[in-house]
Each structure stands twice: as C-alpha cells, then as structure tokens.
Amino acid sequence: MTEQHAGSRIRVDSLTSDGQDTAAQWAQRLGLPLADADADFALQVAEDGLQLQQLGDDAPGPVRVDFIEGKAAHRRLFGGGSGQMIAKAVGIQPGVRPRVLDATAGLGKDAFVLASLGCEVSLIERQPIIAALLEDGLARGVRDLEVGGIIAQMRLLTGNSIELIRQWEGEPPQVIYLDPMFPHREKTALVKKEMRLFRPLVGDDMDAPALLEAALALASHRVVVKRPRKAPSIEGAKPSYALDGKSSRYDIYPIKALKIARP
C-alpha cells in the first residue's frame, strides 16, 4: 500500500462535543496526530460526516463524500441516466450492466453514477485520507432509504491499485475504469475545489502506465480511461477509439464485446 500524503501534514479534529472518540479512532487507524499546530490539513469529525479541511487563510471549504444530497443527488435524478457519456464508455446498453472496477475511486462520484445505473462497482482508493472520506460517505449513504440500495452495489477496497489488480482473486471485472491524476497546466489546476485540495495531498499518478498495463491484463471485456479532452493518452497500449465530451474524453480499450446476459 502506498501511503502518500505528498509531504503534507495532517491532524484529526472533532468539531462536535461527542466526536472525540471517533476522532481518536480515525487518528489511530490512519497514524495521524490529534494535535499539530503546523498541520496543512485537518481531517474533521463533523455533524454531517467526516470531512477534510485545508488549513490557512485562503483555503477552500471542506470536502466530504455525500451520496445523498447535493451534486450526487442532482446527477442521479437529472444527469441523463444511461445516456451519459460515462455509461456509454463502460458499455451500458439495454440488458447490459457490466461489473466495473473503478481503480482510481477518489470521492466515488463516477462509481456512484455507475451503481445508480445498475452496475456492481468495486472501488479502489490508495490515498488513506481519501479512502476514509469515501468509507464514511458509503456508511452514511447505505442507511438512506433512497440511495441505500445503490450503495449496496458498491464495494470499497483500500490499497495500491496496481498491487490489488495483480493479486485479484475470483471472477475478474468486466470493465476497469481509470481516472488518474496527471500534471495539469497551472491555469486548469485549480478549477475545482476538490482538485485544489487533493493535488498537494495526493500528487500525480506517475505510475499510470503500469496501472493501465495491469488493468488490461485483468479486465475481461474492456478498460476505460478518463482524460482531459486535449491530453495525450496514457503511455503504452493505444486506445481503439475515444468518446469526446466538452472538457474530458474516454479512451476505450476493448478486449471483447459486452453481450446481453441470458437468463
């Protein structure tokens, strides 16, 4: 497992009167201090879930995983269903809901979309802090009446994606989905709050070529890589085709056709 904080110092705080024990448990699990005046980030136990707050005068607001309300709810209700480009990229079609491994899960947004469309989704997140946010969001979501059934189709794995893929046991995923962090030009690096928060914490996925190679060796039907629209493909095998959107594209590496499952 690659426990990377990219040189950032992180402490764990409780923002609630009854959250001290929970904060202590996270601190122990993650090997983080409960007090550090020089910390760059604070992992905070708040009323509405675990959140990550960058510290400093010009820091953006906190980030947490929320599958119940906000953007996730809006996309679930009004995002276009199986007509979304990500759905087409992974091969969703009438009668076809592939088993997907999202090997760069992040905050789980894309995985949740695929699960909401009927896919079983395994998620891998190697950055321990982000994995903690994701674990907390899944735990809250599974108790919700509206999205609990969707969350039940999502399985979180923590660790190095390349290692977990190479050591995979049991039936392989039909589709492996990758959305690696890459170096971006400065004018685009701070567009989203999450990117502004995570880039100093996570750094860039410089091992993306090895991840793609491992994914192609495991996936039974296809590998899909999400990229900025004008960015080059990952070094290594070339995609057979791509689906282009306004700001991003999906490079498709087909292995064999996805077919309707027979009863």
Binding site members for S-adenosyl-L-methionine: 125-126, 179
Strand order of the β-sheet with 49-54 is 10-14, 41-46, 49-54
Integer Rg of the chain from CA: 18
Token duo for residue 26: 């996270």
Residues linked to residue 248 through DSSP beta bridges, in sequence order: 228
For residues 223 and 103, give the distance between their C-alpha atoms in angstroms, rounded to a whole number. 11
- Residues within the annotated binding site? 125-126, 179
Residue 261 Cα to chain centre, angstroms: 27
Cα-Cα-Cα-Cα dihedral sign, residues 189, 74, 156, 17 = positive
Contact 44/62 with Cβ under 8 angstroms?
yes
Contact 95/225 with Cβ under 8 angstroms?
no
Residue owning tokens 């390349």:
162
For residues 82 and 96, give the distance between their C-alpha atoms in angstroms, rounded to a whole number. 11
